[in-house]
Structures are given as C-alpha cells and as structure tokens.
Structure 1
Amino acid sequence: MEEELALTLTPKEELRSSQHLQGTSIPWGRLITCKTYFESIDLVETTFSFGRADDCDVIVTSKMVNNHVLLNISKRHFLIQREDDGLVYITDQSKNGTFINGVLVGKGKTKILKSDDHISLAGGQNTFYVFLCKGPEGIQDFLPEALKVKYAYIKQLGRGSCGEVCLVKHRDTCEVFAIKKIVKSQRNTSQMHKINHPLKIANEINILRQISHPCIVGMQELLETESEVYLVLEYMAGGELTSKIINQNLTEANVKFHFYQMILAVQYLHLKGVTHRDLKPENILLLDDKPETILKVSDFGLSKVTDQDDMRTVCGTRRFVAPEVLHNAFRDYGEYGKEVDVWSLGVILFLMLSKQFPFESDDVDTLRQQILTGAYDMKGQNWAEISSEAKHLVRSMLTLHPKLRIKLKDIFKHPWISRDLPMQYRVQRLLQESGCDNLTEYLEELEPPEKKFKFTLFNSSSSSSRSDSTLILETGLGDSSVKCQ
C-alpha cells in the first residue's frame, strides 16, 4: 500500500513527510489532485487543512489560481481529520461551500469520507481532489456497495456461523449503528430447522417492521440480497445485561429501574400479538454503562451472532425456558402462549437480584427436572437484604402452571412496582430525554390477541443427549422446527 500512496506533496508537506519517513509513520490516505496548479498529497498527520490562511497545510495564493477562483476559497475552507475510530472526517469551514460528490457539506458540518470521493469547492462542479483511503475503512468488504455509500465501517462486534455484526457510522449524520449480516441457508425443506432459513428471517423482519418502542432495539433500514440480509440496528454501547449483572453490584433499586423497562417492552410486544419466547440477559442491551440507563429488548429469533460457543448458548437459554415449553402437562391442548415470557422475566429478575440462577445444573436432564418441579429457593446471603415484595413478585412469576402465573399487566400493579412512583418517573424522564414524548400508549392495560404455539419434543438422533433435542413448531403457516436452546 505504501507504493500506491507515492509521496507527491506540496512544498510545505514535503518537509513534514520527510520527518515521518525517518520515523515510523506511514500515510493513512491520499488526496489526488485534479488541478495542474496543485500537487497530490499523502496524508500522514491526523489533520489536514486547506484554504488561504497562512496556517493551512495547503495555502492557496494568487500565484496558484486566478482571482475568480481565489475569491471562492475561504481562509479556512475545509479540514480533514483522521479520528481514533479509524474514520476520516471532512468539515466544511467555508462561506461558499465544500462539496462531496457534488453534494454540499454545509458550513460547520462534518461528513465521513470514503475512497473515490470527489472534493469540490464553490458550486460543486469544480473538483479539486479525489480522496483515497487506506486502512480498515478502505479495504473492508463487509458492506455491499449499496450500504457503503451510506455507512462507514468501524470494527467487528461479533461473529457466528450465520453471519456477523459490525459497528458503523452514517456518513452524513455521523450517527452510530450496528449492522447485522445474516447469511441465508438454502430454501429447501431439509433446512427448515436452521435459524437462518429464509422463511424464518422473513417472519422476524416482518415483526421488526411492525414494532416501535423506546425499550426495544429498532431497525433503521434493511437490505436484502439473494444470499444475505443486512439489518441496520440501533447501537447499544453498554452491551448485554449479562455483563452488568456479573460485573456490577446491582442494588435492588437498580434492578427495579431496569426491570420496569423490560416489562414495558414485553407488554408492548404482547399488545402487538408478539411473544418473544427467548428472553434472557444476552438479548437485553444497555445504552451505556451508567447505573441507570436505557434498556432495550433485542433479537426476535434471527441468527445468533455472538462470540460465545454454541454449548454455552444452549445452556444459557435452557435456564430461562418455561415449564410448559418442556412438558405438555402444563399446556392446554398442547399449546402455550405469552405466559412463557412472564416466566423468563421471572428468571431474569431472580438472577438480577441474587446473581444466581434459580435453576442451575450442568446436566440437562437435572436442569429440566428442576424447572418442571419449580425446585428453587431464596436462601443464602444474596437474598438477605432483598425486600419481601421483590421475593413475592419473583414467586408469582415462577409459578409452574401458566394459568396461575401472574399476568404481565398485573406486574405493573404489584406493590414492588406500583408503589415506587419515583422510579417510574425517572424511567419516563430518561426515555423522554431519548426522544419518547409519551409513554401512556405503552401502558394500556389491554388483553393482546392470543397467540398460541404447539410444540412436540423429539430427539434428532438415537443419542440420549438432550442437548440435541429439537422442538417442532406447529403454526397456521406450516410446520417448522427450531432448536430448543
């Protein structure tokens, strides 16, 4: 790459570059001139300025251009900077305008440059430079061309067998997003059990398109190709709730603040006729690492993109599965519904309060039996300081039979939640600050449309290992099998 970025510089840059050649710095980009009176420039310093002022890196004078051109160039016309995230930004500092590919940046505004961008001055028709980028943004192939023009690649966040997730920034607004790429499986029936089957992906995309809530990760846009799907999602810099539970000493007040947001999100989903069915800390994301922050529910059955191994994912999910999923004795006519989300929320609440799982075993059969019998307790030092109201709510949620389990709408009325008005106010204020004007529409106590799921358990091989068990989902749209993780 150094050979491709040959050192062709203005006089001022020649001295600066010679100093770097003696050291360890190498060019991170290049401005290729489109004018005979300018020279191409290798970008080595973190900033580069262009204009008529004496302190600019390229100083435009009447000896270089005619007066008509000079009048259109400001003392400080534009600034190019390479930031710590590896991206290259251009800021318009001019009165008459800096243009990228013919589009005005706007005085005081910043955009992210990509390779082959044309930098023009007044009017947008007069191209002075073509920018070439070196480094991850210049050579990455994660994004297809249709998204590269909008988003700048920063780094990979996670990778799995079905795809990967990467951090990006919008080139015009500099907003940060996460883009999830899902590689589609084959469409044939034998592949229906796979979580990246095109029909399953289409179903989950339809869900994402229908929902919009401040406590649910939103989809900015979607691009689908013949072999892949790209989801542009909100980026939650605080990571998974799992990390917060493990690494921070959560007070009961902290737990309640975050749990309240969870039930807001799940209540909204249920009102929309959506049952999540895979609620767990890994699928709950945080905006930042502050003690009180916005929480958002994510992952509606799309491909798992994680750096965790499959066995850990399977065990982690099984701990949150409701008893009616595991055994039809707890179902009506082989069906189960939205009550499974209440159970999973109860397991999450138990874990947040005590840093312990209510059901814990490395043996899958033992773990299954613990869940089916409700074999948990609230003894030990971790529960000593927890209020009786919190314990009562956990027991109400971890009730074995779904008909006797507390309803989600009644969790809002439970004293542990309903009597803590300051907590509810703090949540509402935080969500309003993030752009949510009114939460009342999300707090309606309506019975959502009933949605039932019928499952049959069978072993996919002659092996007695429960970890290979598969659940067959029977719906009105046809049969498909999904892994009971």
Structure 2
Amino acid sequence: MNHQNNNAEYADAANGTTESDKILSGQSSSSASTVPYSTDPATQEASDSQKDSIPTGPPAWGSLYPIDPSFYPMELYDDMITFGRGERCNYTFDVPSIKRSGHYQQYSKEHFTITRTPGSSGGHTVMLVDTSMNGVFVNGEKVPPKMPRQLCSKDEISLAFERNKVLFYYDKTEEDDPDLPQSFNEKYIMHRVIGSGAYGDVRCAISKFGTEKHAVKIINKQKTIFGTKDQERVYDDILKEAKLMLTFQHPCIIPVHDVLDSPKYLYIVLELAPGGDLYTRVLQKQWLGDSVSSIMFYQMVSAVSYLHDKNVTHRDLKPENILMMSDEEECLLKITDFGVSSLVDETSFMRTQAGTPSYLAPELVQLMKGSGKGYTKQVDCWSLGVILYVCLVGYPPFARNRPDTPQDLLQQILSANYNFKHPRWSKISDDAKDLVGSMLELDPKKRFTPHECLRHRWLNSDALMQKYKKLTRQSAVSSPACSMSIIKKIEERHIENNNGVELNLQREEISCSSTDSNHTSLERVLKRRLSSDFSDGGHAVKKFIPGD
C-alpha cells in the first residue's frame, strides 16, 4: 500500500492554525502517512473523516515525534519517506509553523530520506540518507552526505545545525522496556537521562499520544521513606503528596502530569523545562544584574506566595530547583521539587543538604545544632533572599573559606554575616539591596513575607507587571478536572510495596500537606544529624564565586 501525502491543507494558515494543530485536534485531511493523534485515546472516539484517513493495511512500523514544536508528528507506513521543503515530499517543511522557525531557508527541497528494507535475520533495517546542502545530524553526529546511516529507535534528528533538533524517531516494532511499569509504557516513551539527584535520575520522556515532552523524576524507594517499616504511613504519604502536587495551578510552578508506581520506583511525570535550571544560567552568565533578576525573582516570589497561601512550605528552595522554560534572557521560570521533599526520608533529605547548606535559614541551622524550637514558612523567604543575592551578583552571601571572615558557613548564616562590598554591587540598585536585606533578616517575624516582597518598590512597577503577564500568558496550567481524574485513579488503584505485595489504598479525603506536618520529625532528625561535613560543606557553592 502506498501512502502518499496530500499537503493541500498546509496552505490554510489564515486563521493561524498550523497543520500540527489540525493533526492534534483530529481535523487533518492528510493521507494515511500522517495519522491524527488523540490526546485521550481511551475515551475519544474518532470521527468519520478520521476513520477514513486511518490505514486499513499493516500497522505503522515507526513514529516521528517533534522535538521542535514547529514540526509535526507522523506515523510511518511506507518503506521510503522523503523530507524537505518540496511540496511533493511525504513530510513537507512547507508549512507555516516551520517557515516561521528561523531555519527554513537552510532546509533543502529534499533534505533527507528514511528507508526501511528487510534485514538478513528476518527483521528490518531503517536507514537515513542526507540529500541536503546543509547537512543532517543524528544524536549530534553529522551524517556523511549521500551515505546511508542506520536509524535506531529513540534517535534524535537535527537539520542544518547540530543543535537544531527537530524530530525523534521511535521504532514501534520494538518491545516495551520490561523494567518500566506497563502503565508507563502504554503512555510514554522513556528517553535519555537529563539530570540526577540524591534519590534517582531525571529522564526525558515523550508522550505516545501527542507531541508533549516530559521530565520524569524517578525516585528510588530504597532511599526514601518507602524503605521504612511503617507501611501505613508510607502509603498515606504517597496518596497525600500525589494529590498535593497534582492540585497546584500556578504558571510558575512545574505541573505534575502523572504519578506512576512500581515495586522499586515511583515515577513522577512533570512538564519539561528546556532552558535548564537557574544554577546553570547563573554559571553561564556569571551574574544576572538588576533588570533580569527583577523579572526572574518576581516569578519565584509569586509561586512561593501561592504555595504559602495554601499553607505549603517548599523547604528546599535553591537555584537547582528553579527551572527555565527557554534560553531567552528574560524567560518564564518554574519552581519544582515542592512536594518530593515530604516523600523523602528526612534523614536522607538533610544529608543532601550537608553539601550545599548555603540556602538554609538560621532556624534550620539552629535545629541542626539542637538549639532550635521549630520553623515556619518563613524559611522559604530566607532561601529566596539568598537566591536573589546570587542572581544579582553571581556569588552567594554565605560560603566557606570566605577571605573576609573567620566564621565558618553555619556561623555566617546564624549571624547573617553578609555584605555588599564586591565591585558588582556598585551596579545594583539600592532598592534591590534593600529587598535582599529585608529577606535575610534573622528574626522570622521581621523577615519579609512573599506578599511583602511583591509590594516592595523594587518589584512594584507597571513595566515589570507587563513583563510578568507576557511571560505567563502562554504558560500551560493543567486542568483541575484532569488533575482530579488522575487523583481518583491514584486513590482507586493498587500500589505495590517493596516486596511486590499489592496494598489497596482506601478511598478517603486527605488534605494537602500543611506547614506544620513535617516539623516534629524534621526537628528530631536535625538534632541528631549535625555532621562535621556541615562546617565546611558547600562544595557546589564554590562554582558561584567569581574569579579574579
């Protein structure tokens, strides 16, 4: 069966609707080579026009998913598919979204081909051939012109430039990963590792029913409270925290799309942040300065204000947990890891803080030393103050081996020993310095709250508000109805413990985590876990300190 691609529908862009929009909404009139994706395949019934466009022959042997959102997905049926600007190509670049992408002029009339031929062992071999003037890259490696290059499942295809990743290839004839839960394999394709933490890796995943890319936080249960003997508390916490994360609706908080369980790991499916984290951004730029820091910080405070209004304390605010949604200098950012800290055993949690305690509030340091009396939501505001300081000048207010003080890191925090002496501070406004001082206040009762920060004169301007509205206007906030649907499934499904024994979660209403819920247990841990490493910790902080 020959599935030719009719591209007449791509010409209709007068209303701003691209072909990829039509494909995802089921309105495409394209041939069988490009099959509409349903966002809810289990419940959404195809229309008559969709049924007519779906091939009745052999199933697709592969799929292409867009890495660049200006491209569109395609199901692969034919043994040869052509790609390029030409209208006769099976996958044409001659569509409004790709034309607007900025690299369109570097694409050839026929840029590359993908062919599938029978293999000697009975299977098939998929080959890519570069037929362009400006080149094709697979996983960052340039494909020799006119020379076939084998294409493997989960390969990434770039056009003209190595960093211009546009398509992701998936071999549908391969078996699903047996190490992943079936429920995960049914909906997602697990891809490469994009980060790691104390409790497991963060990997990129692609939805099988759309064009969305996700970050999947994989939590090793053995390193968390899942390894405790109190199974009843463990499963209560699973349900409570899953519900907590799924109910947040704020443009500057990373939304949780799914929570999936297996005997050894918990998989939390999040929105993917393509711009990296704030830690990396500051390292790259050295310092962000007054103007850029103001719009970045406004977004952070707005998100934390939202959390505090819900009586939720983040407890682990640091640049690594602030994610950038693009590479633009002034971009949308989102806070992450706001719920995971409560799923993590507090002994392990505080052990991870030993390396980089620079963002801990004095109240938490006092608890470590056994002299504290608890903490409030204001610990987040202290952490925000440290983050603002770092954004403004590129180095932290508190660090080990500071040449201007004999105090160690924890002593600096307990005495709020910081200054504005570095030459970079001469380029920072007095208003910004005033806000830093209002947040790095030892007394939590006198320390600025998020609401007070938002009203501070440094952040209270019409120009800043316009920037904020522009950045957050396009931010996807998950539907409350969708979140509640997932919560219902979490409540009703069976969750396995470490031995693979299924325990049925009882249906009950569990409220969101309150600020006070973790105080007692955390205080016990802090009092007994003051390691000598804390006195000279902060190895990662050194990277922020500017060179000569």
TM-score, normalised relative to structure 1: 0.62
How far did residue 322 of structure 1 move?
A: 0.5
Instruction: Give the aligned residue type for 1:425.
Output: Q
TM-score, normalised relative to structure 2: 0.56
Mapping of 1:335-354 within 5 angstroms? 335-354=374-393
Instruction: Give the aligned residue type for 2:454.
Output: F
1:170 is matched with 207
Mapping of 1:308-387 within 5 angstroms? 314-315=353-354, 317-327=356-366, 334-361=373-400, 366-387=408-429
Q: What is the aligned residue count?
A: 355
Structure with the larger strand share: 1
Unmatched tracts of structure 2, length 5 or more: 7-28, 36-48, 64-70, 78-117, 127-151, 155-169, 479-511, 538-548
Deviations 1:83-121 (A, max 9, x none): xxxxxxxxxx99931259999x9xx9735679xxxxxxx
Mapping of 1:184-263 within 5 angstroms? 184-185=221-222, 191=228, 201-248=238-285, 249-263=287-301
Contact 2:240–2:513 (CA under 8 A) maintained in structure 1: no
1:97 is matched with 53
Distance, in Å, in 2 between the alignment partners of 1:314 and 1:186 is: 15
Say yes or no: does 1:180 pair with 2:222: no
Instruction: Give the aligned residue type for 1:375.
Output: N
Structure with the larger helix share: 2
Instruction: Give the aligned residue type for 1:323.
Output: P
Distance, in Å, in 2 between the alignment partners of 1:221 and 1:208 is: 10
Q: Which has the higher contact order (CA 8 A, sep 6+)?
A: 2
2:136 is matched with none
Distance, in Å, in 2 between the alignment partners of 1:180 and 1:52 is: 38
Identity rate of aligned residues, in percent? 32
How far did residue 152 of structure 1 move?
A: 2.2
How far did residue 50 of structure 1 move?
A: 3.1
| Secondary structure, aligned partner of 2:412 | helix
1:50 is matched with 3
Instruction: Give the aligned residue type for 2:304.
Output: V
Distance, in Å, in 2 between the alignment partners of 1:326 and 1:186 is: 23
Say yes or no: does 1:78 pair with 2:33: yes
Distance, in Å, in 2 between the alignment partners of 1:320 and 1:98 is: 55
- Of 273, 284, 302, the residue aligned with 2:311 is 273
Unmatched tracts of structure 1, length 5 or more: 1-37, 39-48, 54-73, 81-92, 115-128, 438-447, 470-485
- Of 520, 523, 527, the residue aligned with 1:458 is 527
How far did residue 171 of structure 1 move?
A: 1.8
Distance, in Å, in 2 between the alignment partners of 1:312 and 1:330 is: 14
1:403 is matched with 445
Contact 2:34–2:74 (CA under 8 A) maintained in structure 1: no
| Secondary structure, aligned partner of 1:417 | coil
CA distance change for structure 1 residues 192 and 414 in 2, over 3 Å: closer, same or farther?
A: farther
CA distance change for structure 1 residues 297 and 99 in 2, over 3 Å: closer, same or farther?
A: farther
Cα RMSD (Å) of the superposition?
4.5
2:471 is matched with 430
CA distance change for structure 1 residues 313 and 188 in 2, over 3 Å: closer, same or farther?
A: closer
CA distance change for structure 1 residues 184 and 112 in 2, over 3 Å: closer, same or farther?
A: farther
Distance, in Å, in 2 between the alignment partners of 1:321 and 1:131 is: 56
Instruction: Give the aligned residue type for 1:215.
Output: C
CA distance change for structure 1 residues 282 and 140 in 2, over 3 Å: closer, same or farther?
A: farther
2:87 is matched with none
| Secondary structure, aligned partner of 1:232 | strand
| Secondary structure, aligned partner of 1:78 | coil
How far did residue 300 of structure 1 move?
A: 2.4
Contact 1:186–1:197 (CA under 8 A) maintained in structure 2: no
| Secondary structure, aligned partner of 1:406 | coil
CA distance change for structure 1 residues 94 and 264 in 2, over 3 Å: closer, same or farther?
A: closer
Deviations 1:239-280 (A, max 9, x none): 110011111252311000010000110000001110001100
Contact 2:191–2:206 (CA under 8 A) maintained in structure 1: yes
Contact 2:277–2:324 (CA under 8 A) maintained in structure 1: yes
Distance, in Å, in 1 between the alignment partners of 2:385 and 2:315 is: 13
CA distance change for structure 1 residues 378 and 234 in 2, over 3 Å: closer, same or farther?
A: same
Instruction: Give the aligned residue type for 1:278.
Output: D
Larger radius of gyration: 1
